[in-house]
Amino acid sequence: MSEKKKIGLIRVLTTPDQELLQLHGRMIESCFPGLSVESRCIADQDEGIHDEASHAKALPKVLALGRAFADENVDAVYISCAGDPGVGILQRELAVPVVGAGTATAHVASAYGVSVGVLGITDDVPEEIAKILGGRIVGSLRPPQIHTTLDLFRPDAMDALAEAGCALKSKGAKLLLLACTGLATINAAPELRRRVGLPVLDPLRCAATCLWTALC
Amino acid sequence: MSEKKKIGLIRVLTTPDQELLQLHGRMIESCFPGLSVESRCIADQDEGIHDEASHAKALPKVLALGRAFADENVDAVYISCAGDPGVGILQRELAVPVVGAGTATAHVASAYGVSVGVLGITDDVPEEIAKILGGRIVGSLRPPQIHTTLDLFRPDAMDALAEAGCALKSKGAKLLLLACTGLATINAAPELRRRVGLPVLDPLRCAATCLWTALC
């Protein structure tokens, strides 16, 4: 058995709750025992990234964390946000591989070659995801009552997401892409797969599989 | 535990050897217990696909197998060849998801946003991989003594592959993409990762992870 590969994971939701902070890392480690994850979050973003202003505010903090991880000799840096703040910059700058949740998921979606429905927490498709998938996106929906990743913990969130997923299916989507890693936090993919009847891409799993295939 | 998802796997190397026929499927099942794989190979291609003529000869046979799998209600069809014969056609035609090894790997490679070296058994980069990665490819190499997937079983194959991998690294590759699923058969990725010192993408694993993320 070879040594585990160390991933530096960046959360863009500020939290003092250690369990919540570690959750994405633990999910990756449970799926891929060859990966070992250290998680850190940026400061002062209690609602994460959910619009242009919160994205801009997060960017320098994400870059600083990514550079710090690289200085500590991680094997890869992973930015656990479908908005991909700083991903392109860090990919050009760092010597270690860098993966972002949104870009990873959009590229994995491209492998299917079919029409994609984007389900998330923002009115617009995150910019990098839109660039990668282009005309393959048949629609994008945010359930009306969900504005930030915290709203995903509401008891009616799954019903609202399934309804949006069905609407995207009726618009011609053959695959659903979850455009917020908060949807991984609540493990929405298996339930949506059952209720909507389409393959569903979870951004945390997509990023984890990209890391696993290249490193392990 | 939900029911396993059934993958119809198409081998483009004709073989009566049941162990060899089942090998890719077994590798997928061992990494992802939520997937169950049935493997079939096309007829009369004892050297697999390794040039334009063998690709063209394989195409109608791959399409027929893909359609047969879809009629048998598999959850997805996987074409285990980096040349991706028939992948685009079947993606447009079938109601179930279709993944090809080469296109899946090229899309996963795109998630890293870095320069890619392509290591394979053909003089040119397989067409679909070249289309997806475009200018991101800094070079492509086939070890001189390796012409078909069968040559990968030669005792000196790994040395030749590692040498080619190092040459691609010196040309600026930050990531190696293995452009033949025969390289998965001999499990070349971990050894090349150690000897070349770059992340290495195995096409079988990339395709399997795409299937797992969308279906499980």
Mean pLDDT, rounded, for A96-100: 97
Same domain assignment for residues B22 and B95 = yes
What is the domain-level CATH number for residue A55?
Answer: 3.40.50.1860
Q: Which of residues 67-106 of A touch B (CB under 8 A)?
A: 76, 87-88, 91-92, 97-100, 103-104
Which of B175, B199, B214 has the CB atom closest to A175's CB atom? B214
The 10s digit of each residue's pLDDT in B93-119 is 999 999 999 999 999 999 999 999 999
Q: Report d(CA A184, CA A205) in Å as an integer.
A: 8
Is any Cβ of chain B less than 8 angstroms from the Cβ of A179? no
Mean pLDDT, rounded, for B50-74: 96
Same domain assignment for residues A85 and A24 = yes
How many distinct structural domains can be found in chain A?
2
- Identify the residue whose tokens are 């993966």: A99
Same domain assignment for residues A77 and A134 = no
Write out the DSSP string of A90-121: HHHH-SS-EEEHHHHHHHHHHTT-S-EEEE-S
- Residue A204, min C-alpha distance to chain B (Å): 9
Q: What residues of A are in contact with residue B205 (Cβ under 8 Å)? A: 212-213
Answer whether B103 sits within 8 Å of A114, measured CB to CB. no
Same domain assignment for residues B184 and B196 = yes
Query: What range defines the domain where residue B142 resides?
Result: 104-202
Residue B50's pLDDT band (boundaries 50, 70, 90)?
A: confident
Same domain assignment for residues B96 and B115 = no
Which of B202, B207, B214 has the CB atom closest to A201's CB atom? B214
Q: What residues of A are in contact with residue B107 (Cβ under 8 Å)? A: 107-108, 110-111
Q: What is the pLDDT of residue A50?
A: 87
Same domain assignment for residues B178 and B196 = yes
Same domain assignment for residues A148 and A198 = yes
Strand order across the beta sheet in which A35-41 lies: A35-41, A5-11, A76-79, A98-100
Residue A69: how many other CB atoms lie within 10 Å: 24
pLDDT value at A1 more than 90? no
Torsion of CA B31, A198, A48, A149, to 10 degrees: -120
Same domain assignment for residues B182 and B209 = no
Same domain assignment for residues B194 and B115 = yes
Is any Cβ of chain A less than 8 angstroms from the Cβ of B185? no
Same domain assignment for residues B82 and B150 = no
State the amino acid at position A23 in one-letter form.
Answer: L
Same domain assignment for residues B134 and B65 = no
Answer whether A215 sits within 8 Å of B205, measured CB to CB. no
- Identify the residue whose tokens are 């050894």: B191
Mean pLDDT, rounded, for A150-171: 95
Same domain assignment for residues A81 and A166 = no
The 10s digit of each residue's pLDDT in B14-23 is 999 999 999 9
Interface-testing mutation among A4, A176, A209, with chain B (most B C-beta atoms within 10 A) = A209
Q: What residues of B are in contact with residue A4 (Cβ under 8 Å)? A: none
The 10s digit of each residue's pLDDT in B121-180 is 988 999 999 999 999 999 999 999 998 888 998 999 999 999 999 999 999 999 999 999
